[in-house]
Structure 1
C-alpha cells in the first residue's frame, strides 16, 4: 500500500481514538436519553403499521428492512413504526448494557463491526430507530429541491448523492439479534418521498458484491472498489439527467486486489485485523492532475492520489479530462476515495467540505457558486450524516422566490454603487435598518451579501400588525449570499438586520429587495 493511500483515512482512526473517553463518559448517555428512551416518544395515531418501502428495481440481493409487526404501531407524526418495549430492551442491552463496546461499536456477523450510536446515532439509523418526522422529511426535501431549482435557473446541473453506510449494503452482516427488528431508514423515507432528488446507490453497490467487497469488515467507509462502483453509477445518472454535459470519462475496471489495510476500528475498539480492503485494477492509469490549495499553491498529483477533507477546500485541474466542465463537489470523508475519479472526470473541480454533520461550520453555497461559476454541483453525503436534518430550507425557498421576482425590483443598495434604499450602515455589530420608499404591495424577498469573520446567524425582521416577523439565516465565515422572505402583512417599509450569533467584524456589502 502506497504511503499516500495509508494517509487517506488515518485521521479518522485518530479522531475516533480521541473521542472514546469523551463519548463513553457523557455523550452516549445523553444521546440515548434524548433520542431512544421510550419515555421520550409519543405513540398513537394509526393502529396500522407503515409498510416497508418498495425496493429499487433490479436489486434482488438487497436485504430490505424487516416488515413491521402488528406490535409496532405507527408513529402519530408519520406512521413510521415505533419499536415495542421489548425491542427497546433488546436494543439497549445489545448496544450498551451488555455490549462489548457500549455506544462505540456493534459486533455483526462474519467479523463485521458497525459504528455505535456515539457516532451520529449510527446504529439507531441502521435499525430505523432514528427516523425523520414528516416535518424533517419536508424540510430536507424542500431544501434539496429548492437548491436544485436555484442552480437549474443558472444552468447548473445538480445531484444530491447519499453515500450508503455499510449497514445499507451489508444488512445481512448485521448481528443476529437485529433479525425481524429493522425498520425503514431515513434514506428509505427520503427516496419514498422524492425518488428523483436523492440518488440511491444501494442497488449497484449491493449487486457489485458478487465481484468483490464494496465495504469492508473493519471500516465504516466504502472500499476503493466500492467508491468506483458508486462513481460510475453517479456519472451514469448525471449524464442521463443532464445530457448537455456530454460524455464524461469513466475508468474501466479489469479486476481487483485485496489487502489487510485501513482497520478503522483498531483505533476505536482495538479490533484486530485482517480487514478486507479491496482496490480496483484499472485498464489504464488515471491521468495526473494539478492540485491548487486554498492559498493558491499549485502542485502536481499522481492520478491515483486521494484527497481527504483535511486538505479542503482545494481545486483540481485536469486537461486530460477532455472537457472544460467545472464541478463543485460538496464533500465529506466518503469523497476521499472518489477524489481521483472526480479529478479525472472534470476539467476543473472545487472540493469543499459540506459539514452536514455540523451545519454551523458549513460554507455558503450561493457565494461559492458566484465565485467559482460551476457547471455541476455534486453533494456527497455519507448516510450517517442524515442524522442531522438538512438546514436552510427557508433560505433556499426565498432564493428561488427572489429569482422569480426579477422583474419586480423594489430597491437596492451596496457599499460600492448607487442606492434606492436608505440603509443605516454596513457594520453589523449593531442592528442595520433598510427603509424602502413604500410598502411592498405583496410579499417580497431580500438578497443580502455579508462578509463575516466567523460563522453565526442573522435575523431579517419586518413589522406586522401582530408584531415583528423575522427570518433567521445561517451565516458562514467569509463571503455570504443570503436570502429571506418579507411577509405580505408588513405594516412598515422597514427591514431590520441583526446579528444574533457570531464574533469579529461583519459587514453588509449589498442588499436588494424584489416583489413576489
Structure 2
C-alpha cells in the first residue's frame, strides 16, 4: 500500500498557501486604493550592482496592494494612538502634533536655548537699524506652534509637562526691551479658535483663516490698519481637503481627511510682474525659493522674511495690499542681508515659525 505524498485536505492548504504568496504579485495588476506619494518610482541605474542598496528602495515603494496595506497600517496606528517612532504625537480628537526638531520640548518649555535666543535679539536690532535710513518699519511676528494654541488637544503626558518661560516668551520679552514692534499671536489665535479651526488637524500648518488673522495683525502692528482684509473678502466656508504632512508620516493619504477654508482673492486684483535682482536667486526645485513681484496698483512695499507659514499663504493677500512685495526664507537668522538694501521695503515682517525662532550659532561664534 502506498501513501500519497500529500493527503487530500493538505493539498487544499498548499493551494491556499500558494495563493497568499501570489497576492503581492496580483496587487500590481488588480485595483488598489490611493496611497501616499511613492518616494521611489523607478529602479536605480544598474540596480543589479549592490541590489540591496539600489533596488530595495524601489521594492519598498512599489509592492502590491500598497494603498490597502498602508491604509490598514494607518488605521491600526490611529486605533492604538501609535506613531511608530515617527515625529508625530496623537492628541485628542485625532489632532496631530509635530515632534521633530525637538518641537514638542520647545513648546512645553522643556527646551530653552538662551544663547540662540540672544542672537535672535541682536539680529532683529540690526534689522531695525538697517531699515532706519528710509524709515522702514519692522514687525516681528513669530508663528506659534500648534501646541501653544490648542494645548487642550495635546496628549495627557504633554499637558502635564508644560512650563514657562518658553523661547516664545523670551522673544516677546526681548523685543519689548529693545522697543521692537512684536505681535504675540498666541492670545489672538486662542481667541479666534472659538469661531473655527486655526490649525489643521493633520498638518503642521495653520488654516487659511489663521493666516489671514496673522496678516491683519501684522498690518495693524505696522501702523497700517487700512491694509487689513475682511474675512469675507479672503476666505470662504470650511471644506474637505486632503490629509496633511503629519498624516502622511503615518501612511494616511485620505483625499478628504482634513478641513480648511476656501481661498478667495481679495480686491484690488493685481497684475503680478516678477522683479529680478531684489531677492536671492535659487534653483526652481528649492522648496523655499524667494520671490518678488510688482502688483500694478498703489500700496506700500512689503518684504516678508519667513517660512512655509507665509510662503504660500500670503501672496494673494500681499498682492491686494501692496505695490511691491517679496518673500525670502529666514534661514535661522542667516537670510540675505543684501536683499534688504536692494528692496528698500516700507515694511519688513520677520515671521518664522516658533520652532525656527532661535538663531543657528556656528561653533566658535
What range is the shorter-chain TM-score in?
0.5 to 0.7
The question of 1:212 aligning with 2:196 is answered yes
Residues 200 and 206 in structure 2, CA contact (< 8 A), matched pair in contact too: yes
CA distance in 2, matches of 1:106, 1:309: 28
128, 139, 154: which one aligns with 2:119? 139
138, 141, 144: which one aligns with 1:158? 138
- Number of the residue aligned with 1:315: 292
Higher strand share: 1
136, 146, 152: which one aligns with 1:172? 152
- Number of the residue aligned with 1:248: 227
TM normalised by structure 1 equals 0.48
Q: Larger relative CO (CA 8 A, sep 6+): 1 or 2?
A: 2
Residues 267 and 320 in structure 2, CA contact (< 8 A), matched pair in contact too: no
- Number of the residue aligned with 1:237: 221
The question of 1:327 aligning with 2:302 is answered yes
Q: CA deviation at 1:377?
A: 1.5
- Number of the residue aligned with 1:395: none
Q: CA deviation at 1:281?
A: 6.5
CA distance in 2, matches of 1:260, 1:214: 15
Q: 1:127 to 1:271 in 2, by over 3 A?
A: farther
269, 281, 285: which one aligns with 1:287? 269
Higher helix share: 2
CA distance in 2, matches of 1:284, 1:374: 22
Structure 1: gaps (5+ residues): 1-12, 19-97, 240-244, 297-307, 393-456, 458-470, 473-516
CA distance in 1, matches of 2:137, 2:109: 32
- Number of the residue aligned with 1:350: 326
113, 135, 155: which one aligns with 2:96? 113
Q: 1:277 to 1:354 in 2, by over 3 A?
A: same
**Secondary structure of 1:377's aligned partner:** strand
1:382-393 pair list within 5 angstroms: 382-386=353-357, 388-389=358-359
221, 224, 245: which one aligns with 1:264? 245
CA distance in 2, matches of 1:174, 1:237: 30
Q: CA deviation at 1:389?
A: 2.2
Q: 1:286 to 1:213 in 2, by over 3 A?
A: farther
Aligned residue pair count: 276
**Secondary structure of 1:289's aligned partner:** coil
Q: 1:100 to 1:132 in 2, by over 3 A?
A: same
Q: CA deviation at 1:285?
A: 5.3
Structure 2: gaps (5+ residues): 1-35, 41-80, 279-284
Per-residue CA deviation, residues 330-385 of structure 1 (Å, 9 max, x unaligned), is 131111112211222110012222222xx6xx4421x1122222222212201111
Please tell me the root mean square deviation across aligned C-alpha atoms, in Å: 3.3
